[in-house]
Amino acid sequence: MKTKAGKILVVDDSDSVLRTVNQLLKYECESIKTLKNPNQLNSVLTQETFDLILLDMNFKAGVNTGNEGLFWLDEILKIDKNAIVIMITAYGDIDIAVRAIKKGATDFITKPWDAEKFITTVLNAVKLSISKRKNEILEVRQEHLNQDINKPFENFIGSSEKMKEVFLIIEKVSKTDANILILGENGTGKELIAREIHKRSDRAKEIFMTVDIASMSESIIESELFGYVKGAFTDANEDRIGRLESATGGTLFLDEIGNLPLSIQAKLLTVLQNRKIYRVGSSKEIPIDIRLICATNNNIEKLIEQGQFREDLFYRINTIQIKSPSLKERGTDIIELARFYLNKFAEKYNKGKLEISKEAQNELVNYPWKGNVRELMHTMEKAVILSDKPELEVVDFYLKMTPLYKEVNNSFKLEDVEKETIQKVLEKHKGNLTKVAKELDISRTTLYLKLKKYDLQ
C-alpha cells in the first residue's frame, strides 16, 4: 500500500478550488484541511502544524492585486518561520508570484493547473518540508550532544554475580519499549546501564539523549525539556526545540529524576500518557515517540511519603526496576576496573606498562569506595600521574585507610596526621623537597617551616 505523506492546509475562498484540490490530493496526502477565510489562519496555525500551505493570492471579489496573499504570507511566516507555502495565482499574475517568493514563499501554481504537474509540485514541497523539519531537529540534537561530549563514558566492565544479574535484566528488557527506573548510589554507572539498554534496543540507530535534572536550576527545566516558542518569556527570542522533541525516535535518559519539581512531574506524566508535548508558550500539540529511562540515587518511596514525588508518575516510570550495585558489592570487579583505568591512563599520560602490587590489590578490594566507580577512576588517574615506577604500591593510591592517612597512635589530632603525611611523602620521594612540595600542594617555604616544626630534617 502506498504511504501517504504530508499534512496540507489549503486557503482559498473558492469552493470549486477547494473541492478540486481535495479531489487531486486525497489519495496522495495524509490529511487535507481547507479554509475559506484567511482570518482563521492564526487560530489554526497555533493549534496544528502543516507540512505545506497552499495560499490563494486574492480573496475579495474583483481584487487581483495579490496584496492580500502577500499579507497573509507574512502572517504565516511570523507564526512559523519554517513554513512551506505555495501561492495559488492566476496566469497573468506571475510578477506578483515572484514577489511572493522573494518574501518567503516556496513556489507558486498558476490557475488553471495541469493535474499531474500540480500533484508533483505539491509532493515535492511536502518532501522539502519534512526534510527541513528533520534537519532542524538534527541541528538541535547535535547541539545537545555537543553539550554532553566531554562526559566520561567507558565500556561496561564486570563479571561479578551482581553484574551478571544486571546484564540478565538488560537482555530481557532491551528489545521492549518499557519504561525503566535505575536505582543506585552516585558513581555506580547508572548511565552506562541506560546506554547499554539503548545500544541493544531497536532504537539503537537513533539518538540517546541525556538530561541531568540535578544540574539544572528549577527555572530552566521546563523549557529545556519541552522547548518554547518565541515570546514565551523574556529571553525567548526564537522558537526552541526541547529535549523531549529532539529525542523522538530514540531513548531519553532522565538522570536524577528524584530532583524533578512537582509541577514538571505533572507535565511529564501527561506526556507519558498522551505521547504529545506542548512547547512553553504554545497550545500546539507535537507528537513524540521516545523510550524513557530514568535514574536516581534518591529513595523515591520516601519522597512519595513526604509528598515530594507523585506516586502515579512513579508507577509510570517504574515498569522495570534495575538496581545498580555499589562498587563494594562487586568484589573482584574492583581489580578488573582498576586495571582497565590503569591501562587507559597509562596510555593517556605516556607512562608505559604499569602493574598493581598484590598488597595494593588487597587494599583496593577492601577499601569502602564511597564514591564507587567514579572514585576508583579518579584514584587510578591520580596514581598514574604521580607514579615513577612500573609497579604501584599501596601508598601510591593515597587511600584514606592506608598508612599514609591512618591516625597516628590512635590520634586524630591534625598535627599528628599532618606530620605523618609529610613523613610518608618524604619517604616516597627520597627527600626530594621539590617533589614533596608539589605533591602536598604547598610552597617550598611552607614545607621548610613544616619540616622545622615537626623536626623532620
pLDDT at res. 342: 94
pLDDT band, very low/low/confident/very high, at 407 (cuts 50, 70, 90):
very low
E strand spans, 123-264: 180-183, 208-212, 227-228, 240-241, 251-255
User: Residue 54, Cα to own-chain centre: how many angstroms?
Assistant: 36
Residues forming a β-bridge with 296 = 183
> 311-335, pLDDT tens digit by residue?
999 999 999 999 999 999 999 899 9
* pTM > 0.75: yes or no: no
40-98 confidence digits (pLDDT tens): 998 888 888 899 999 998 887 656 677 888 999 999 998 888 889 999 887 656 788 78
**pLDDT at 146 > cutoff 60:** no
Which domains occur in the chain, in start order?
7-133 (3.40.50.2300), 161-325 (3.40.50.300), 329-453 (1.10.8.60)
Looking at residue 104, its amino acid is: G
Encode pLDDT of 214-235 as tens digits: 888 888 999 999 999 888 888 8
Q: How confident is the model at residue 403 (pLDDT cuts 50, 70, 90)?
A: very low
Q: What mean pLDDT do residues 423-448 have?
A: 81
* Closest among 351, 354, 377 to 364, alpha carbons compared: 377
* pLDDT band for position 255 (cuts 50, 70, 90): very high
More confident residue, 179 or 454: 179
**If you average pLDDT over every residue of the chain, what do you get?**
85
Structure-block grid coordinates of residue 120 = 508533483
More confident residue, 153 or 137: 137
Residue 12 above 70 pLDDT?
Answer: yes
Say which residues have a Cβ less than 8 Å from residue 325's Cβ, sequence separation at least 6: 160, 162, 163, 166, 184, 188
Q: How far apart are the two ends of the chain, measured CA to CA in Å?
A: 89
